C-alpha cells in the first residue's frame, strides 16, 4: 500500500512538473513574441458594441495588418454593458484591453482604484499620438491623479436634439430656440397629424430608459441644471437632483408625459427601439445629434421625404445656452488589467497598438472603411458612404472604438450630418462640466451605483405621475441618509485638496 502511494505521488509530481513546464513554455513563447516587434502581437479586447450585430472581419483584418497584431474581440452589447462589465470585473474574466465607458459606475471606479489595472500615465509621452492627449483630458480621465487607461478622446458635448424638419415645415413651425417652443413642437407632432395620414399615430418625443442619455438630461441642461453636481465658491457640493432647475425639468417632462407628447413606454424602451420608432415615423424628436446618420439610414425606404435637422441651442427664455459635457471630453478608458498584461514589455506593445489606431489610415478604416468600396471623397472633398448596407456590416461597429474622434475632421457630403458635426463642435462654447469627474469618493465607489437607482426610480415615477413632489424629496432624503451625505462630504474634501 505504501509503495503504491509513493508511486502515485511520484506520478502526480511528474505530471505537475510537466504541466508547469508547459505553462512556463507558453509564457516564455508569449514573452518572446512580445519582445520581437516583427511578430504580430496577439491581443484580446473586451469592447462595447453599439450596433445590432458585430462587424465582419473585413476591417479587422486590415487593422491587424496595419498594427501588426492578431485581435480577438469580445463584444458586449451596449444595452447590457453595465451588468456584463461589472460581472467581468468581479469574476476577473477580462482581456488584454478592457473598454470602460461607465466612469461614474461604483464597481468600475472601485476596480480601477484597487490596483487591478496598469497606470499608463508615465508611458503616454513615449508615443507620438498618445503624447498629444491634452493635459486637461488626462486629468479628467484620472482618479486622484492616476491614469488607469488610455482615455477615449471625444468632443466635449455631443448632446442635442434631432427633429423631423419635414414635419416642422408641414406644420409651419420654425426650428425651436426656447423650451416653450420645444414644448409646442412636441405638442404639434403629437396632435396635428404631422405625417398627414389622418391617423392619430405620432408622438413628439421618443425616449428610452436611460436617465443620462434620454431627453431628460438634455432638457435639464437647457433649464440650467448643473451637470451632476453644483459647487459654489466656498467649495460646497450639491447634487443636481437637489436643485430647483432639476425640479423644473421634472415638471416640464411630467407635463409632456401626461399630455402624451412624450413616449408613454419610455421607461421600458431600449436605445435601439427608440431609434426604430423614430425611423418608422412614430416619433419626431430624438435626443443625440451624433446619431443623425444612423437614423437616416434606418429610415431608408420607410419615410419618404424625410428631412432631419439637428438642434443644439435651446434656452429657458433668458438667451443663455447650456449643454452637459460627457466626461469633460473623455468617453471612457482603454484599460489594461495586470492579470492579463503581466509585463511592462507587453503593456508597451499594447500602447503602441492604441497609438497606431489613432493614425489617419487606421482612423479612416474605423470611420469609413475602404475607400472606393465603402466610401469616397466627392469633388468638394466631402466624405460620402457608397454602400450603406455594406458599411453598416463591415465598418459601423468599429466607429465607437476609435481611440480619438477629434484628431481628424471630415467634411460630410450629407448636409444634415455636416451640420450636426458643426453644432457638436459649437457645443464646446456651452459645455457644462461635472466637477466630480477628476475627484474620488470611497463611498460613491462602493455604493454610488445602487444609490443612483433611488433617484432614477424617483425621477421616472414623478414624470409618469406615480409620485408627488413630496415623494421625490423623500427619495432625495433617502439618498442622503443612505450614503449620499457622506459622498457629498468626500467630494468636498477631495475638491479642497485640488484647490491648494
Mean pLDDT over 412-425 rounds to 94
Mean pLDDT over 34-53 rounds to 89
Look at residue 13 and tell me whether its pLDDT is greater than 50.
no
Phi and psi angles of residue 157, each rounded to the nearest 5 degrees, phi first = -150, 115
* Tens digit of each residue's pLDDT (9 = 90 or more) over 237-267: 999 999 999 999 999 999 999 999 999 999 9
What is the secondary structure of 93-114 as a DSSP string? Answer: ---SEEEE--TT-HHHHHHHHT
21-35, 347-361, 406-420, range with the lowest pLDDT:
21-35
Look at residue 53 and tell me whether its pLDDT is greater than 70.
yes
Question: Quick one: which of 290, 264, 314, 289 has its CA closest to 277?
Answer: 264
Mean pLDDT (the chain, rounded): 92
> In degrees, to the nearest 5, what angle opens at C-alpha 83 toward C-alphas 78 and 87?
125
Give the pLDDT score at 30: 60
Contact criterion met (CB below 8 Å) for 337 and 116: yes
Q: What share of the chain has pLDDT > 90, as a percent?
A: 80
Domain residue spans in the chain? 32-155+328-407, 161-326+431-498
Give the pLDDT score at 422: 95
User: And the C-alpha cell for 464?
Assistant: 409618469
Give the pLDDT score at 4: 43
Which CATH superfamily, name and number, covers 32-155+328-407?
Periplasmic binding protein-like II (3.40.190.10)
Mean pLDDT over 306-312 rounds to 96
R_g of the chain computed on alpha carbons: 25
Architecture of domain 161-326+431-498: 3-Layer(aba) Sandwich (3.40)
Q: What is the DSSP letter of 79?
A: G
Dihedral angle, C-alpha 64, 67, 73, 76, nearest 10 °: -130
The domains spanning 32-155+328-407 and 161-326+431-498 adopt the same CATH topology: yes
Give the pLDDT score at 12: 41
Give the pLDDT score at 445: 85
Look at residue 8 and tell me whether its pLDDT is greater than 90.
no
Q: What share of the chain has pLDDT > 70, as a percent?
A: 93
> Where does the pLDDT of residue 31 fall: very low under 50, low under 70, confident under 90, or very high at 90 and above?
low
Angular region, 310: left φ>0, alpha ψ -120 to 50, beta rest: beta
Mean pLDDT over 33-51 rounds to 87
User: And the C-alpha cell for 345?
Assistant: 514589455
Cα 199 from Cα 184, distance rounded (Å)? 20
Give the pLDDT score at 11: 44
Q: What share of the chain is helix, strand, coil (3-state, %, to 5)?
A: 50, 15, 35
Look at residue 437 and tell me whether its pLDDT is greater than 90.
no
Q: What is the DSSP letter of 228?
A: S
Mean pLDDT over 460-464 rounds to 98
Phi and psi angles of residue 290, each rounded to the nearest 5 degrees, phi first = -65, -20
Give the pLDDT score at 18: 46
27-41, 108-122, 165-179, 331-345, range with the lowest pLDDT:
27-41
Mean pLDDT over 134-160 rounds to 92
Look at residue 370 and tell me whether its pLDDT is greater than 70.
yes
Look at residue 343 and tell me whether its pLDDT is greater than 70.
yes
Contact criterion met (CB below 8 Å) for 75 and 47: yes
Amino acid at each position: 500500500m505504501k509503495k503504491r502511494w509513493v508511486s502515485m505521488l511520484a506520478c502526480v509530481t511528474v505530471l505537475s512538473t510537466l504541466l508547469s513546464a508547459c505553462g512556463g513554455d507558453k509564457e516564455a513563447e508569449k514573452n518572446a513574441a512580445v519582445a520581437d516587434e516583427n511578430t504580430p502581437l496577439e491581443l484580446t479586447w473586451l469592447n462595447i458594441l453599439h450596433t445590432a450585430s458585430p462587424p465582419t472581419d473585413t476591417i479587422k483584418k486590415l487593422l491587424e495588418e496595419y498594427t501588426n497584431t492578431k485581435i480577438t474581440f469580445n463584444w458586449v452589447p451596449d444595452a447590457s454593458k453595465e451588468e456584463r462589465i461589472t460581472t467581468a470585473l468581479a469574476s476577473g474574466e477580462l482581456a488584454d484591453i478592457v473598454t470602460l465607458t461607465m466612469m461614474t459606475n461604483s464597481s468600475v471606479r472601485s476596480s480601477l482604484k484597487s490596483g487591478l489595472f496598469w497606470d499608463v500615465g508615465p508611458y503616454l509621452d513615449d508615443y507620438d499620438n498618445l503624447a498629444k492627449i491634452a493635459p486637461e483630458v488626462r486629468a479628467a480621465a484620472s482618479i486622484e491623479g492616476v491614469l488607469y487607461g488610455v482615455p477615449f478622446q471625444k468632443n466635449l458635448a455631443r448632446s442635442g436634439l434631432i427633429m423631423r424638419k419635414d414635419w416642422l415645415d408641414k406644420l409651419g413651425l420654425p426650428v425651436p430656440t426656447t423650451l416653450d417652443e420645444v414644448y409646442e413642437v412636441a405638442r404639434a407632432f403629437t396632435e396635428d397629424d404631422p405625417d398627414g395620414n389622418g391617423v392619430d399615430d405620432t408622438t413628439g418625443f421618443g425616449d428610452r430608459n436611460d436617465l443620462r442619455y434620454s431627453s431628460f438630461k438634455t432638457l435639464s441642461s437647457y433649464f440650467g441644471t448643473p451637470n451632476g453636481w453644483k459647487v459654489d465658491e466656498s467649495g460646497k457640493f450639491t447634487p443636481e437632483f437637489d436643485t430647483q432647475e432639476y425640479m423644473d425639468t421634472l415638471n416640464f417632462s411630467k407635463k409632456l408625459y401626461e399630455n402624451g407628447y412624450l413616449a408613454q413606454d419610455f421607461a421600458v424602451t431600449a436605445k435601439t427601439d427608440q431609434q426604430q420608432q423614430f425611423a418608422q415615423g412614430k416619433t419626431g424628436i430624438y435626443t443625440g445629434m451624433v446619431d443623425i446618420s444612423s437614423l437616416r439610414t434606418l429610415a431608408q425606404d420607410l419615410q419618404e421625404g424625410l428631412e432631419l435637422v439637428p438642434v443644439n441651442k435651446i434656452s429657458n427664455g433668458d438667451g443663455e445656452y447650456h449643454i452637459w459635457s460627457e466626461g469633460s471630453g473623455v468617453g471612457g478608458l482603454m484599460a489594461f488589467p495586470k492579470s492579463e498584461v503581466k509585463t511592462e514589455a507587453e503593456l508597451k506593445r499594447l500602447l503602441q497598438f492604441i497609438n497606431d489606431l489613432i493614425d489617419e489610415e487606421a482612423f479612416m478604416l474605423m470611420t469609413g472603411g475602404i475607400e472606393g468600396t465603402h466610401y469616397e471623397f466627392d469633388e468638394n472633398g466631402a466624405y460620402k458612404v457608397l454602400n450603406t448596407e455594406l458599411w453598416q456590416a463591415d465598418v459601423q461597429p468599429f466607429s465607437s472604438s476609435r481611440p480619438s474622434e477629434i484628431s481628424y475632421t471630415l467634411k460630410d457630403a450629407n448636409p444634415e450630418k455636416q451640420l450636426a458635426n458643426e453644432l457638436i463642435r459649437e457645443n464646446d462654447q456651452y459645455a457644462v462640466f461635472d466637477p466630480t469627474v477628476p475627484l474620488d469618493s470611497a463611498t460613491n465607489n462602493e455604493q454610488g451605483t445602487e444609490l443612483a437607482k433611488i433617484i432614477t426610480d424617483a425621477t421616472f415615477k414623478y414624470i409618469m405621475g406615480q409620485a408627488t413632489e413630496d415623494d421625490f424629496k423623500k427619495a432625495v432624503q433617502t439618498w442622503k441618509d443612505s450614503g449620499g451625505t457622506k459622498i457629498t462630504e468626500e467630494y468636498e474634501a477631495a475638491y479642497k485638496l485640488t484647490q491648494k
